[in-house]
């Protein structure tokens, strides 16, 4: 740029400069040109250009552009500008006044001072620069540039401000729109009726709910524009305020506050409870411009309240213990009364406990993980646990749980059901069932059930084994098929299925069953099947048969016993008379032989009655020392007759007597029973060997059945059919027999066994099928001499006497014989045929009576009573009982044992005379037998 002449140069040059300044794009460049040009014009060293912007005075251009110079002058310049622009002395006023005051030129645009130019130093122009027209013109141009620049700056700042405002507004509008949408959604979606009125209470807006219920009578009409009374009138509230002036909407407008009111809407089928809220919508002035009215139907809330109270009731009254637990801390936050009852904790201690406390530590250890998982999943599947009550008592409970919202707090709801009693009952039931099952399974019967089609549904019991069936084996099979061959069974089954109870006995093979069938009815009473119990009565039947047999035997025995008794009387008479005859007849007399024959025959007869009595077991038990050899020898004849001709009898006896202490009749019975069995085993003939021997057993230690000692052994051996081992194992059982009905009683060997045992001996058997049988009877041997008995004694002892005796006997033959025998011995005899007569005879007799000889069984009064009475009348009188029947202590009850004796009929005269003498002398063995075992005979 060309230098500007410092003098008043031609106008063009400066016009050119001013044009350039004005057309310069950059404000800074334009102002810098201006400052330099002014320095030339004003011949100044330093020029500065300030612009006032608001309260600021901004340095815009500087010449020369040297910071050091600027620093030296700026403060002074600013002070000058402040003064010029009427801004008062600036902060640098003092400093300014210190130096030389600069020249100033105001920058004026549109009549306003917008800044100033300061000039300083240099040679200085002639006069003040402000007076130079050129300088003033230049300053005017610079003011224009600065003003334009300032304006530009201001407007762009303004624009930026506007843009900011706009953005903010936009955002707010968006927020508002969102809020509006929310509000609209809430209001429209809500099932409440919502409308807005203006201050005149005219409806201006409604939500969808109200819009869809147009005012009545105006189908398709709108609420808009109607008074809000139109809505209220539908509510038909008896308590509704009569005028609009007091209605909630009006009140809300008046009070500028929210007003609530409850209505009943009764023009529906069921009355509805409505809740109206009127909310004033305030304008910018804070006054209500509109009212928002909301009508809610609270009827459902009522229902809700009701159901809530129902739930509360359930919670309070539940039979389950309900415990709400905070899952994280496991703290109990709520518990129902049942929980308190179950645990024994009062309400205040239960709440606050932790779940762990409700279990014993060991139980908690087992459950902790399970609870934890349940809480995490929000569902606790039921399981059983032991709950510990406050007193330490444990009870069994099932617990289950779910997640539950308790007033906004998420808790685990645990329900405990006490099953202690249930489990106890279940266990008891199981036990009972098990007991029943074992009873059924072990019952010696068959229990079964059949359905209506005849299919077995149950078959149990030990009795099945007898049919070769396993329990349950026939279940599923048809009874009609299984027992098609037993029409009787099927007939009963059909009967029971038709509803009848049946009891019947059925034979299946060798086994007999008694079967009881009972229909099983459904709830309607119609038979749906049957149950049955079959009892194996084979054994019972056999026992019944045996009992019948035994009764028969008993009857026969009685008969035989009775016959033998009477027969003994006759035999005694025959023997007695025979003996009397023989005594009178000389041995050479021809009749002596006949008397002897009578005598022998009578003896045989006596033997037979003895057998009869043994058979009827009414024999007299009189154990005494006897010689077995002799007993067997005397039995030989009898045995021979017993076994018949087709069997050979071999009797082997030792050379010296073998003594045992036993009842002779019993020993005979043993031998005879064994012999009869042997005969039965040898149907086609054979050999029966009876051997008597003696043995000294060393004995096996511990063998109580065969004690050591001396024995007499009677062996009875046959060559018959023999026995299987199973048979041998049972032969001594009473009633065990293999013989046909009517042939065997099964009592033979059991009698043998009993007798031998009673004599402290034992029996051994050896047998094999087809190889014959050998029975060995071991009897303890005694070394005593054979005892003397009335029938056996023989020695010549004194039998004569002169005493007076009373003889009572109902059998006249015997009485006559006895009287004669007694008279022969020198005695005086009074006679009577029964007890009554005897007493009369005794009463009639003045002299002494030494002895009563009486039969036991007599008509009118027996010997027992007679003896008793007579002994009472005549103390010291001796008694001799005679009987063919039995020596029963009972008959002699009340009779002094010391003075009474017993004589078994029949007897020989010698024995009789001896017994009479012994009784009179008191030397006879007393009738009571101290050394005998209890009488076995009946
Ligand atoms: P019963 O003779 O009435 O059958 P027992 O008690 O006398 O009764 O005998 C029982 C069973 O013992 C007989 O049925 C028979 O089977 C068997 N028994 C006894 N003795 C003999 C024997 N000597 N030989 C073969 N079997 C015998
Ligand atoms: Mg027999």
Verify whether ligand 1 is closer than 6 Å to residue 746 (CB atom).
yes
| 522 has pLDDT over 50 | yes
Cα 752 to averaged position of ligand 2 atoms, centre (Å):
10
Choose the residue to mutate in 674, 732, 749 for probing ligand 1, maximizing ligand atoms within 8 Å of C-beta: 749
Rounded to the nearest integer, the mean pLDDT of the chain is: 82
Nearest ligand 1 atom to the CA of 734 is 6
Verify whether ligand 1 is closer than 6 Å to residue 721 (CB atom).
yes
Better-scored residue on pLDDT, 690 or 92: 690
Give 387's pLDDT tier (boundaries 50, 70, 90).
very high
Cα 673 to averaged position of ligand 2 atoms, centre (Å):
6
Verify whether ligand 1 is closer than 6 Å to residue 718 (CB atom).
yes
Verify whether ligand 1 is closer than 6 Å to residue 749 (CB atom).
yes
Choose the residue to mutate in 642, 687, 737, 776 for probing ligand 1, maximizing ligand atoms within 8 Å of C-beta: 737
Verify whether ligand 1 is closer than 6 Å to residue 720 (CB atom).
yes
Cα 672 to averaged position of ligand 2 atoms, centre (Å):
9
Minimum CA distance residue for ligand 1 atom 8: 746
Cα 678 to averaged position of ligand 1 atoms, centre (Å):
8
pLDDT in tens, 545-584: 777 766 776 676 667 767 777 788 888 888 888 888 888 8
Verify whether ligand 1 is closer than 6 Å to residue 675 (CB atom).
no
Cα 744 to averaged position of ligand 1 atoms, centre (Å):
8
Cα 542 to averaged position of ligand 1 atoms, centre (Å):
17
Query: Rounded distance, CA 449 to CA 463, Å?
Result: 15
Q: Which ligand is nearest to the CA of 716?
A: 1
Q: Which of 695, 636, 623, 712 is nearest to 671 (CA)?
A: 636
Alpha-helical runs (H) found in 190-293: 208-211, 229-235, 248-255
Q: Which of 847, 837, 790 is nearest to 812 (CA)?
A: 837
Minimum CA distance residue for ligand 1 atom 17: 731
Cα 722 to averaged position of ligand 2 atoms, centre (Å):
14
Query: Rounded distance, CA 519 to CA 493, Å?
Result: 9
Nearest ligand 1 atom to the CA of 744 is 3
Verify whether ligand 1 is closer than 6 Å to residue 681 (CB atom).
yes
Verify whether ligand 1 is closer than 6 Å to residue 863 (CB atom).
no
For residue 528, give the 3-state DSSP assignment. strand
What are the C-alpha distances in Å from 32 to residues 20, 38, 49, 75, 844? 12, 10, 9, 20, 203
Verify whether ligand 1 is closer than 6 Å to residue 739 (CB atom).
yes
Cα 653 to averaged position of ligand 1 atoms, centre (Å):
25
Nearest ligand 1 atom to the CA of 751 is 6
Q: Which ligand is nearest to the CA of 768?
A: 1
How buried is residue 243: exposed, middle or buried, by Cβ count under 10 Å (0-12/13-18/19+)? exposed
How buried is residue 588: exposed, middle or buried, by Cβ count under 10 Å (0-12/13-18/19+)? exposed
| 21 has pLDDT over 90 | no
pLDDT of residue 813: 85
Nearest ligand 1 atom to the CA of 750 is 6
| 853 has pLDDT over 90 | yes
pLDDT in tens, 873-900: 998 899 998 877 655 555 555 566 667 7
Q: Which ligand is nearest to the CA of 678?
A: 1
- At CA 606, angle to CA 890 and CA 896, rounded to 5? 25
- At CA 533, angle to CA 530 and CA 539, rounded to 5? 155
Verify whether ligand 1 is closer than 6 Å to residue 672 (CB atom).
no
Most confident of 347-356, 651-660, 836-845: 836-845
Cα 716 to averaged position of ligand 1 atoms, centre (Å):
13
pLDDT of residue 708: 85
8 Å CB contact between 417 and 397: yes
pLDDT of residue 749: 87
Could you give phi then psi for residue 240, rounded to 5 degrees? -60, 140
Verify whether ligand 1 is closer than 6 Å to residue 772 (CB atom).
no
Verify whether ligand 1 is closer than 6 Å to residue 745 (CB atom).
yes
pLDDT of residue 926: 46
pLDDT in tens, 739-753: 887 677 777 888 788
Verify whether ligand 1 is closer than 6 Å to residue 678 (CB atom).
yes
Percent over 70 (pLDDT), the chain: 86
How buried is residue 553: exposed, middle or buried, by Cβ count under 10 Å (0-12/13-18/19+)? middle
CB count in 10 Å sphere of residue 185? 10
Give 927's pLDDT tier (boundaries 50, 70, 90).
very low
Percent over 90 (pLDDT), the chain: 26
Q: Which ligand is nearest to the CA of 746?
A: 1
Verify whether ligand 1 is closer than 6 Å to residue 900 (CB atom).
no
Verify whether ligand 1 is closer than 6 Å to residue 677 (CB atom).
yes
Give 127's pLDDT tier (boundaries 50, 70, 90).
low
pLDDT of residue 217: 64
Cα 561 to averaged position of ligand 2 atoms, centre (Å):
20
Contacts 24+ apart (CB under 8 A), 54-63: 57/81, 57/82, 57/85, 57/87, 57/90, 57/115, 60/27, 60/28, 60/31, 60/115, 60/146, 61/28, 61/31, 61/32, 61/34, 61/35, 62/35, 63/32, 63/35, 63/36, 63/38, 63/39
Cα 619 to averaged position of ligand 2 atoms, centre (Å):
19
**In Å, how far from its chain's centre is CA 754?**
54
Cα 649 to averaged position of ligand 1 atoms, centre (Å):
19
73-87, 333-347, 596-610: which range is least confident on average? 596-610
Nearest ligand 1 atom to the CA of 743 is 3
Minimum CA distance residue for ligand 1 atom 18: 677
Give 269's pLDDT tier (boundaries 50, 70, 90).
low
Give 934's pLDDT tier (boundaries 50, 70, 90).
very low
Cα 724 to averaged position of ligand 1 atoms, centre (Å):
12
Verify whether ligand 1 is closer than 6 Å to residue 715 (CB atom).
no
Cα 605 to averaged position of ligand 1 atoms, centre (Å):
28
Query: Rounded distance, CA 402 to CA 412, Å?
Result: 6
Buried b (16+ CB within 10 A) or exposed e, 218-238: eeeeebeebbbbbbbebbebe
| 41 has pLDDT over 90 | no
User: What are the residues whose beta carbons fall under 8 Å from the beta carbon of 36, sequence distance 6 or more?
Assistant: 1, 47, 63
Query: Rounded distance, CA 838 to CA 335, Å?
Result: 106
pLDDT in tens, 62-105: 888 888 888 888 888 888 888 877 776 655 445 445 556 788 88
Could you give phi then psi for residue 925, rounded to 5 degrees? -60, 125
Minimum CA distance residue for ligand 1 atom 25: 722
Alpha-helical runs (H) found in 190-246: 208-211, 229-235
| 850 has pLDDT over 90 | yes
Verify whether ligand 1 is closer than 6 Å to residue 689 (CB atom).
no
Alpha-helical runs (H) found in 443-478: none
pLDDT of residue 91: 53
pLDDT of residue 126: 55
| 43 has pLDDT over 50 | yes
For the chain, how many residues are written? 938
Q: Which of 680, 668, 920, 651 is nearest to 801 (CA)?
A: 920
8 Å CB contact between 607 and 631: no
pLDDT in tens, 716-739: 999 999 999 999 988 988 778 898
Minimum CA distance residue for ligand 1 atom 20: 677
**In Å, how far from its chain's centre is CA 305?**
43
pLDDT of residue 404: 83
Could you give phi then psi for residue 486, rounded to 5 degrees? -120, 80
Give 613's pLDDT tier (boundaries 50, 70, 90).
low
Verify whether ligand 1 is closer than 6 Å to residue 751 (CB atom).
no
Verify whether ligand 1 is closer than 6 Å to residue 686 (CB atom).
no
Strands (E), 340-498: 379-388, 394-406, 409-418, 445-451, 456-460
pLDDT in tens, 145-170: 888 888 888 888 899 999 999 999 99
118-127, 128-137, 528-537: which range is least confident on average? 118-127
Give the mean pLDDT of 252-272: 77
Query: Rounded distance, CA 642 to CA 788, Å?
Result: 29
Q: Which ligand is nearest to the CA of 750?
A: 1
pLDDT of residue 122: 67
Verify whether ligand 1 is closer than 6 Å to residue 420 (CB atom).
no
| 760 has pLDDT over 90 | no
């Amino acid at each position: 740029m060309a230098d500007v002449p410092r003098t008043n140069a031609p106008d063009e040059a400066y016009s050119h400069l001013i044009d350039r300044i004005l057309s310069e794009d950059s404000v800074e460049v334009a102002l810098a040109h201006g400052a330099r040009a002014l320095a030339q014009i004003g011949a100044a060293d330093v020029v500065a250009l300030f612009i006032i912007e608001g309260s600021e005075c901004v340095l815009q251009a500087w010449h020369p552009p040297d910071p050091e110079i600027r620093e030296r002058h700026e403060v002074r310049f600013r002070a000058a500008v402040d003064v010029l622009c009427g801004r008062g002395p600036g902060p640098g006023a003092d400093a300014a006044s210190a130096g030389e005051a600069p020249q100033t030129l105001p920058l004026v645009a549109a009549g306003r001072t917008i800044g100033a130019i300061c000039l300083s130093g240099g040679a200085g122009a002639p006069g003040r620069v402000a007076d130079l027209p050129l300088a003033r013109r230049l300053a005017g141009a610079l003011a224009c540039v600065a003003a334009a620049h300032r304006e530009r700056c201001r407007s762009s700042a303004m624009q930026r401000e506007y843009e900011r405002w706009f953005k903010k507004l936009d955002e707010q509008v968006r927020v508002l729109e969102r809020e509006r949408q929310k509000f609209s959604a809430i209001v429209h979606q809500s099932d409440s009726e919502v409308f807005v009125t203006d201050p005149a209470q005219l409806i201006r807006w409604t939500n969808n709910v109200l819009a869809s219920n147009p005012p009545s009578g105006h189908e398709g009409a709108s609420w808009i524009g109607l008074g809000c009374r139109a809505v209220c009138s539908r509510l038909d509230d008896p308590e509704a305020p009569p005028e609009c002036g007091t209605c909630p909407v009006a009140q809300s407008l008046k009070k500028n506050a929210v007003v609530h009111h409850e209505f009943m809407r009764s023009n529906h089928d069921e009355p509805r409870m409505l809740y109206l809220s009127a909310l004033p919508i305030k304008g910018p002035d804070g006054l209500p411009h509109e009212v928002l009215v909301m009508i809610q139907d609270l009827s459902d809330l009522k229902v809700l309240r009701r159901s809530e109270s129902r739930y509360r009731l359930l919670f309070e009254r539940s039979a389950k213990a309900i415990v709400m637990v905070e899952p994280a801390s496991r703290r109990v936050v709520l518990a129902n009364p049942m929980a308190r009852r179950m645990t024994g904790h009062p309400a205040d201690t239960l709440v606050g406990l932790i779940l762990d406390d409700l279990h014993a530590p060991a139980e908690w250890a087992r459950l902790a993980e399970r609870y934890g998982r349940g809480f995490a999943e929000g569902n606790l599947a039921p399981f059983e646990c032991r709950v510990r009550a406050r007193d330490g008592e444990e009870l069994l409970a099932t617990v289950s749980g779910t997640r539950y919202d308790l007033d906004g707090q998420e808790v685990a709801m645990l329900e405990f059901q006490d099953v202690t009693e249930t489990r106890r009952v279940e266990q008891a039931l199981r036990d009972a069932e098990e007991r029943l099952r074992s009873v059924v399974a072990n019952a010696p019967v068959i229990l079964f059930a059949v359905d209506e089609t005849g299919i077995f549904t149950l078959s149990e019991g030990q009795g099945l084994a007898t049919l070769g069936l396993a329990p349950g084996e026939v279940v599923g099979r048809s009874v009609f098929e299984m027992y098609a061959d037993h029409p009787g069974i099927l007939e009963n089954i059909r009967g029971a299925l038709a509803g009848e109870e049946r009891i019947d006995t059925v034979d299946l093979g060798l086994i007999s069953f008694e079967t009881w069938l009972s229909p099983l009815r459904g709830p309607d009473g119609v038979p749906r099947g049957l149950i049955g119990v079959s009892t194996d009565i084979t054994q019972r039947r056999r026992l019944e048969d045996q009992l019948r047999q035994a009764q028969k035997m008993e009857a026969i025995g009685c008969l035989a016993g009775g016959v033998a008794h009477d027969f003994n009387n006759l035999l005694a008479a025959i023997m007695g008379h025979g003996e009397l005859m023989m005594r009178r007849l000389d041995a050479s007399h021809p009749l002596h032989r006949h008397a002897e024959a009578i005598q022998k025959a009578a003896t045989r007869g006596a033997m037979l009655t003895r057998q009869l009595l043994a058979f009827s077991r009414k024999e007299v038990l009189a154990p005494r020392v006897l010689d077995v050899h002799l007993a067997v020898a005397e039995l030989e004849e009898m045995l021979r007759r017993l076994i018949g001709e087709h069997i050979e009898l071999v009797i082997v006896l030792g050379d010296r007597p073998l003594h045992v202490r036993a009842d002779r009749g019993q020993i005979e019975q043993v031998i005879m029973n064994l012999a009869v069995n042997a005969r039965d085993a040898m149907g086609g003939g054979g050999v029966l060997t009876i051997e008597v021997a003696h043995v000294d057993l060393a004995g096996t230690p511990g063998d109580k059945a065969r004690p050591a000692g001396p024995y007499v052994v009677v062996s009875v051996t046959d060559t018959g059919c023999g026995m299987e081992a199973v048979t041998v194992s049972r032969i001594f059982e009473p009633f065990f027999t293999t013989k046909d009905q009517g042939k065997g009683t099964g009592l033979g060997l059991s009698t043998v066994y009993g007798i031998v045992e009673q004599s402290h001996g034992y029996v051994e058997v050896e047998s094999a099928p087809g190889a014959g049988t050998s029975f060995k009877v071991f009897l303890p041997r005694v070394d005593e001499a054979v005892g003397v008995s009335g029938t056996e004694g023989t020695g010549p002892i004194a039998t004569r006497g002169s005493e007076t005796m009373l003889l009572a006997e109902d059998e006249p033959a015997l009485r006559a014989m006895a009287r004669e025998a007694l008279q022969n011995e020198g005695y005086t005899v009074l006679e009577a045929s029964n007890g009554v007569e005897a007493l009369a005879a005794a009463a009639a007799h003045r002299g002494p009576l030494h002895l009563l000889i009486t039969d036991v069984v007599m008509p009118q009064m027996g010997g027992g009573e007679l003896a008793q009475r007579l002994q009472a009348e005549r103390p010291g009188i001796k008694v001799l009982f005679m009987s063919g029947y039995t020596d029963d202590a009972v008959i002699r009850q009340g009779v002094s044992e010391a003075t009474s004796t017993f004589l078994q009929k029949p007897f020989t005269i010698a024995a009789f005379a001896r017994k009479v003498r012994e009784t009179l002398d008191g030397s006879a063995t007393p009738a009571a037998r101290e050394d005998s075992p209890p009488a076995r005979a009946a």
